């Protein structure tokens, strides 16, 4: 397979159209067989449920080339399970988990020429998503849906080296206590756009959201979970019903415990404790972990001891171990790596 002539190392995180995408439609209570198509456009009625009432959810994962030349994805079963939970919460039909994984595999395999080579730092981002596709004007769930999977090559996250982030405690809320913060719904992002642009305008990289009810506990950022390291080297991550269960974060906890022998705690984390932590990172598929160097709470600065020029030592070990597992340099726990080719 001849790879596309792409400057992998200098790719950004933007949409690059690839050759094939998977599409299946839900109608009269059933999914059709589905398959790969070449047309990258979606044609739907002007009154589609997704356009009027935002009935849509998505997943995000990566395919990449391992050291020994295989094309793989990381824990797609957890994406399939999470998408099922998102669909149920949005009154959307579930696309069966085994078929979800099969659709991902088919789409990646069909776009093999866009899977970046090992060592380039680039990956093929995979975006499964579903939306209500038939006309809905009175507020109710759609009766027809489309499930699609497309891919787009994305560049190395830490281009030009790791740069710890400066984040701020945000006065806007991301998710209500019994709302939709725990599912991967587009609506959670639409309402966070103002807050993130406002953060950027004020010179911050990201927002730290606190729990909406008491504003005392750490939740997450707009698109990544927090991971903290205590001064005695415990790994702590916030537990809450209104944060998105990050697959990266859940995997890092296993790595911390099983590979690095560290104590891990998943529990409520009060903002008052943050000043005492040694390291802080943001976990998600895009970066695996992005280190946080500084947290600003209405003018009051918390400077993490790990500083503004590199990852903290434990964050670095977690990062190196998980990326080593993903790239096939370190043996993975059973079932974590799905080989596509
Ligand atoms: C997708 C997402 C994450 C990261 O989850 P991963 O499975 O690790 O990619 C974290 N927070 C939010 C709000 C998300 O949408």
Q: Quick one: DSSP state of residue 114?
A: G
Per-residue confidence band for 263, with pLDDT thresholds at 50, 70 and 90: very high
C-alpha distances in angstroms, 308 versus 43, 226, 279, 295, 304? 47, 17, 11, 11, 8
Look up the CATH number of the domain holding residue 28: 3.30.470.10
How far is 268 from 270, CA to CA, in rounded Å? Answer: 6
Domain containing residue 185 = 165-326
**Whether residue 127 sits in one domain with residue 18:** yes
Does a structural domain hold residue 115? yes
**Whether residue 229 sits in one domain with residue 80:** no
Longest dimension (CA), the chain: 58
Give the mean pLDDT of 46-62.
Answer: 98
Please state the φ and ψ torsions of residue 210, each to the nearest 5 degrees: -100, 165
Per-residue pLDDT of 286-304, as tens digits, reads: 999 999 999 999 999 999 9
Does a structural domain hold residue 29? yes
Per-residue confidence band for 100, with pLDDT thresholds at 50, 70 and 90: very high
Ligand 1 centroid from CA 138, angstroms: 32
Does a structural domain hold residue 3? no
**Whether residue 16 sits in one domain with residue 125:** yes
**Residues tagged active-site:** 184
- Asked if pLDDT for residue 71 goes beyond 90, the answer is yes
Look up the CATH number of the domain holding residue 240: 3.20.10.10
Does a structural domain hold residue 250? yes
Per-residue confidence band for 54, with pLDDT thresholds at 50, 70 and 90: very high
- Asked if pLDDT for residue 157 goes beyond 90, the answer is no
- Asked if pLDDT for residue 198 goes beyond 90, the answer is yes
How far is 333 from 328, CA to CA, in rounded Å? Answer: 11
Q: What is the per-residue pLDDT for 228?
A: 98
Query: Ligand 1 pocket test: which of 189, 190, 238, 284 has the largest number of ligand atoms within 8 Å of its C-beta?
Result: 284
Percent with pLDDT over 70 in the chain: 100
Q: What is the per-residue pLDDT for 323?
A: 96
Residues flanking ligand 1, CB < 6 Å: 60, 184, 220, 223-225, 244, 246-249, 283-285
**Whether residue 185 sits in one domain with residue 132:** no
Which residue among 154, 175, 209 closes a domain?
A: 154
């Amino acid at each position: 397979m001849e790879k596309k002539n792409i400057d992998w190392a200098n790719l950004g995180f933007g949409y690059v159209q690839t050759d094939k995408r998977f599409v299946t439609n839900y109608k009269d209570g059933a999914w059709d067989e589905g398959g790969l198509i070449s047309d990258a456009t979606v044609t739907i009625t002007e009154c589609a449920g997704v356009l009027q009432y935002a009935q849509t959810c998505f997943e995000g994962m990566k395919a990449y080339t391992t050291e020994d030349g295989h094309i793989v994805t990381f824990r797609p079963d957890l994406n399939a399970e999470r998408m099922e939970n998102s669909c149920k919460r949005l009154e959307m039909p579930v696309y069966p988990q085994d078929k979800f994984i099969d659709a991902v595999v088919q789409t990646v395999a069909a776009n093999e020429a866009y899977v970046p080579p090992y060592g380039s730092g680039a990956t093929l981002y995979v975006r499964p998503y579903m939306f209500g596709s038939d006309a809905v004007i009175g507020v109710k769930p759609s009766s027809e849906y489309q499930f699609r999977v497309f891919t787009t090559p994305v560049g190395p996250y830490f281009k030009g080296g790791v740069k710890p982030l400066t984040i701020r405690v945000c006065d806007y809320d991301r998710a209500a206590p019994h709302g939709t913060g725990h599912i991967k719904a587009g609506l959670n992002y639409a309402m966070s756009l103002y807050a993130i642009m406002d953060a950027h305008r004020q010179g911050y990289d990201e927002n730290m959201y606190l729990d909406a009810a008491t504003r005392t506990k750490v939740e997450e950022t707009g698109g990544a979970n927090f991971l903290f390291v205590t001064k005695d080297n415990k790994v702590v991550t916030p537990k809450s019903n209104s944060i998105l269960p990050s697959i990266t974060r859940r995997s890092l906890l296993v790595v911390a415990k099983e590979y690095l022998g560290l104590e891990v705690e998943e529990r409520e984390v009060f903002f008052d404790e943050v000043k005492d932590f040694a390291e802080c990172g943001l976990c998600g598929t895009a970066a695996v972990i992005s280190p946080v160097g500084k947290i600003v709470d209405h003018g009051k600065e918390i400077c993490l001891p790990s500083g503004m020029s590199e990852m903290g030592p434990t964050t670095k070990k977690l990062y190196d171990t998980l990326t080593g597992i993903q790239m096939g340099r370190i043996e993975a726990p059973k079932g974590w790596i799905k080989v596509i080719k």
